[in-house]
A and B are shown apart, each in its own frame.
Chain A
Amino acid sequence: MNLKVLKIKTWIRDNLDQIVLSLLVVPALVLIFTFQLIPSAWTIWFSLTDIALVGKKALNWSFVGLKNYLDMITDIDFWRSMNVTIQYCAVSLVLRFTVGILAALFMTLSKVKGKILIAAIFLLPSAIPGIMHPYVWISMLEPKYGTLNTILKFFGLPPQSWTYGAVVESLIMINTWAGYTFTMILMASAFKSIPREYYEVAEIYGASRWQKFRKVTLPLIKFPLILCLILIFKEDIDDFTYAYMFTGESPRPDFKTELLSLYAYHKAFHYYELGFGCAVGFVIAIIVFVLTLLQLRVARV
């Protein structure tokens, strides 16, 4: 007995380092587990039932297995929503990335003057907290006096109905405006990390700016670039704050703004079909999951 205790004590003393280190991770893991994983598991459980928010079904709900998922696949609204979401995410991805990378270029590689001021200005949209974005943009989009329509009228072009008719365009404009800074910061840091010497060598060989960009810059930023694309897409799928601001509690009859996440929200809280809403939520989660795995695969390179 004594020998065993002695062995254990020695082992603890030798590996005290490792043990203490491992314990340090525990608090963070506990927090993440409690507030992210437990509710997620709960939601997945809900998605397998026909629970409703109110009404008879809220009292007598039962396990229905994959029925919600089957209903979802046969629901035409789900596919319409998927359609809207994919289009929105695709366009948003292209724009957010392009504006972001241009901004990053201006902040680092380009030859324009006043980089600090430029950086400060480009960082502004993400410095303004998210809740203010729609309100700030309403001043632009208001049909009668909004800035956008005033500019259009100034150039003799017809004013548009940004808050209603051209709503998807408005959403994309707002989302790009609010979301390009993410790309910008990542790509700027990537640009900065390319050692100057590479460019100087290229200069010696008489490369033009375009060639420098193609042969030196691009290959070295492949990793952050792909990472950016994945992260942007993940964010766009999840977030529906702007769509909600323009749509409200019930889906628009023409379904134009019905992003998948908004559709899940409406199903759960407007039609009270909590189980179904959670199922749609889980589908979104799976997409995010797959994208994250992809992101990690890239990180291995």
Chain B
Amino acid sequence: MAMSGILKKIGEPSYTLLEYVVLITLMMYVLTPLLWLLETSVNTDPVPYLSIPKGITIDHFIAVLTNRPITGGYAAHPVYMTRWIVNSLIISGTTMIIVIILAVLASYSLSRLRFRGKNLLMTLILLSGFMPRMAMILPLFQLCRTLGLVDNLIGVAIVVASGTLPTQIWILKGFFDQLPRDLEEQAWICGCDRVSAVFRIILPNVGPGLAVVAFMSFLSGWGAFTIPLILIRREYLFPISLGIASVFIHNPGEIGLVVDYGPTCALAVLYAIPSIALYILLRERLMEIRLARLEVR
């Protein structure tokens, strides 16, 4: 005991110093690539590598937000970035709505129901995403074509929602599971029927869970790239991800092309802001995720 007491006294201070060193290293690893993004978006003379800005301007942000045609590169073709932002918002918003509605319905009933095949169903739901997206391109495309979902922002939202739905159901069920089964019964005793019990008691209690699911599904839609790549062909329907991909580097190694880096990086910063904001607001909630465990029967 005395030995560990001495160790405690000797060992402790150096831990803290070591911690700070590791922390600083990690933070530099995380931040350095992003510095370029920030620096270029306000630089008067943007270049594709980190440099000391010669002047600071918010003109790039204004250009993006006011739909000013941005030109550059060869055969000067204008690019309209505001449209992309609108498209991304539509896709993400729709995905979020679809996922919330369907996930709440599904998780609630899966949490409350008892039947023999429940574990099997939960397993199947999780396993449904086993095929890599790229291998499914052609069948997915044919399917969406027959359903009329090609070149359609809502179609993209539906497919993205279907991709993120299994994980969201699992997460939300975990939240529902934490509420005691008898909660509805107690509400019942107090005179509410099932439906108003759900709305008045259950839902408010899984508020954090809903927030997490809403946020994660919004982000799935906001960052979606491969699905829009497959489904959207018309340029004015591009979300931000496709838009950036279509104007940036043309051939590997051929850096410094097409569009002004200033507005493009400004757009990227704007692209990142919703995600960052949501993450910070919900970081406490994120910690409360308990992935649902299968019930032992």
Contact = CB atoms under 8 A, between A and B. Distances in A.
Interface in A22-50: 22, 24-25, 27-29, 31-40, 42-43, 46
Nearest to A123: B279
Interface stretch (B53-61, B64-72, B119-127): B119-127
Contacts of B33: 136-137, 139-140, 147, 177
B30 A285 contact: no
A121 B32 CA distance: 11
B287 A192 contact: yes
Give the interface residue-count category, chain A. 35 or more
B191 interface: no
A36 B163 contact: yes
A132 B272 contact: yes
A31 B136 contact: no
Interface string A288-301: 11001101100110
B19 A110 contact: yes
Contact of A289 (B130, B194, B268): B130
B102 A27 contact: yes
B116 to A, nearest CB: 13
B252 A245 contact: yes
A274 interface: yes
Interface residues of B, number: 100
A130 B225 contact: yes
A147 B32 contact: yes
Interface in A226-260: 227, 237-238, 240-241, 245-248
Interface in A125-142: 125-132, 135-140, 142
Contacts of A248: 251-252
Given A35-B140, A138-B255, A28 B102 contact: yes
Q: Is the interface of B mostly helix, strand, loop or mixed?
A: helix
Interface string B39-82: 00000000111110000000000000000000000000000000
A99 B125 CA distance: 30
Given A25-B109, A128-B34, A164-B253, A99 B26 contact: yes
Interface stretch (A61-69, A73-81, A112-120, A152-160): A112-120
Given A46-B139, A132-B272, A189-B288, A32 B29 contact: no
Given A24-B108, A112-B23, A39 B139 contact: yes
B151 to A, nearest CB: 17
B48 to A, nearest CB: 6
A119 B158 contact: no
Interface in A79-119: 99, 102-103, 106, 110-112, 118-119
B249 A42 contact: no
A288 B135 CA distance: 14
B134 A261 contact: yes
A156 to B, nearest CB: 19
A21 interface: yes
6 contacts: A28-B105, A103-B26, A122-B30, A126-B275, A185-B286, A264-B134
Interface of A: 17-18, 21-22, 24-25, 27-29, 31-40, 42-43, 46, 99, 102-103, 106, 110-112, 118-132, 135-140, 142, 144-147, 150, 163-164, 177, 185-186, 188-189, 192-193, 206-211, 227, 237-238, 240-241, 245-248, 261, 264-265, 268, 274, 277-278, 280-282, 284-286, 288-289, 292-293, 295-296, 299-300
Nearest 9 pairs of A and B residues by beta carbon: A281-B135, A42-B139, A129-B223, A35-B162, A28-B106, A139-B36, A127-B275, A145-B49, A39-B139
